[in-house]
């Protein structure tokens, strides 16, 4: 999920429904686009009218008005994985990770993290293997990257640039009943993390100290994003995945999009610097 300051609109994905959604809060208008496969994450592009998509099995450019899809790279062909969380760094490169989908048994850390450069070259990042990639976000100066394997219940960080530093633990969530999911960074450099199974988004200061907890009326929040004209609205997506009929009855807002007033402003969403092939 992300906020487009050009459109003054919030975009998000229904992964299981293979659908991209857009809301213009000013007038309440909603648009959606069906995708050929599950859409895990995406990025705005500097090229007007285009998004960069991390579909389950491939990266692709998507032209919104023409509904035109241009495939770029297959994602981990030969592995039982799909794309998952992703975000642009502030240099305009798209960083994403994958998620293990075994036919039988538990998820294993066989996936990886990747970076798509402006010249459309795809680089595998030297980070630990991952079962469920999440929490990909960047500090305001883009000199630190955050990421996690949700199953490990630890948000990690590393020094970030053309080369990456050694990963270290930013926040240890081993004691919670849920899992860390998607994240966003605010203008003060704090990390906001949606915590699956915990009905909450938590703000962590740059030193990893827990600063603020926002409770949500849905047990499975998935990702926050700052939006609005002043970037002080915190949008949060949530999911219905895996909930039984009884649990859904107790969680009527599961799958909803929430908007909350944030005490600090966010940062403008970076745009992918590369251009679609044959596009100026």
Q: Render each residue's pLDDT in the chain as its tens digit; 280 residues.
A: 999 999 999 999 999 999 999 999 999 999 999 999 999 999 999 999 999 999 999 999 999 999 999 999 999 999 999 999 999 999 999 999 999 999 999 999 999 999 999 999 999 999 999 999 999 999 999 999 999 999 999 999 999 999 999 999 999 999 899 999 999 999 999 999 999 999 999 999 999 999 999 999 999 999 999 999 999 999 999 999 989 899 999 899 999 999 999 999 999 999 999 999 876 5
pTM over 0.85: yes
> Phi-psi region for residue 15, left (φ > 0), alpha (ψ -120 to 50) or beta?
alpha
Cα 94 to Cα 37, 54, 223, 229, 246: the distances in Å are: 20, 10, 17, 24, 39
Give the residues across from 215 on adjacent strands. 200
- For position 105, what pLDDT does the model report? 95
| Lateral strand order in the sheet of 113-116 | 81-88, 94-100, 113-116, 122-124
CA–CA–CA angle 24, 27, 31 (5° rounding) = 45
Looking at residue 20, what is its pLDDT?
98
Report residue 54 as tokens: 């991390």
* Residue 277: predicted pLDDT: 84
pLDDT at 278: 72
Q: Could you tell me how many helices (H) and strands (E) the chain has, helices first?
A: 1, 23
Q: Is 50 helix (H, G, I), strand (E, B) or coil?
A: strand
Task: Identify the pLDDT of residue 251.
Answer: 92
pLDDT of residue 203: 98
According to the model, what pLDDT value does residue 70 have?
97
Identify the pLDDT of residue 279: 62
């Amino acid at each position: 999920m992300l906020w487009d300051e050009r459109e003054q609109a919030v975009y998000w994905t229904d992964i299981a429904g293979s659908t991209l959604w857009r809301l213009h809060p000013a007038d309440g208008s909603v648009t959606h686009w069906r995708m050929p496969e599950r859409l895990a994450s995406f990025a705005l592009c500097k090229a007007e009218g285009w998004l960069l998509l991390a579909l389950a099995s491939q990266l692709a450019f998507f032209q919104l008005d023409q509904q035109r899809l241009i495939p770029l790279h297959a994602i981990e062909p030969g592995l039982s994985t799909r794309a998952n969380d992703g975000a642009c760094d502030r240099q305009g490169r798209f960083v994403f990770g994958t998620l293990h989908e075994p036919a039988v048994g538990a998820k294993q850390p066989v996936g990886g993290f990747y970076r798509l450069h402006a010249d459309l070259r795809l680089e595998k990042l030297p980070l630990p293997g991952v079962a469920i990639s999440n929490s990909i976000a960047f500090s305001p100066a883009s000199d630190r990257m955050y990421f996690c394997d949700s199953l490990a219940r630890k948000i990690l960080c590393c020094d970030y640039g053309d080369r990456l530093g050694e990963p270290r633990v930013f926040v240890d969530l081993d004691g919670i009943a849920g899992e860390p999911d998607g994240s966003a960074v605010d203008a003060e450099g704090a990390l906001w993390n949606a915590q699956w199974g915990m009905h909450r988004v938590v703000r962590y200061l740059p030193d990893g100290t827990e600063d603020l907890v926002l409770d949500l009326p849905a047990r499975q929040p998935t990702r926050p994003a700052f939006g609005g004209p002043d970037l002080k609205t915190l949008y949060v997506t949530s999911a219905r995945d895996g909930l039984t009929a009884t649990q859904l009855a107790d969680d009527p807002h599961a799958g909803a999009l929430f908007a909350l007033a944030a005490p600090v402003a966010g940062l403008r969403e970076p745009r992918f610097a590369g251009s679609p092939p044959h596009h100026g």
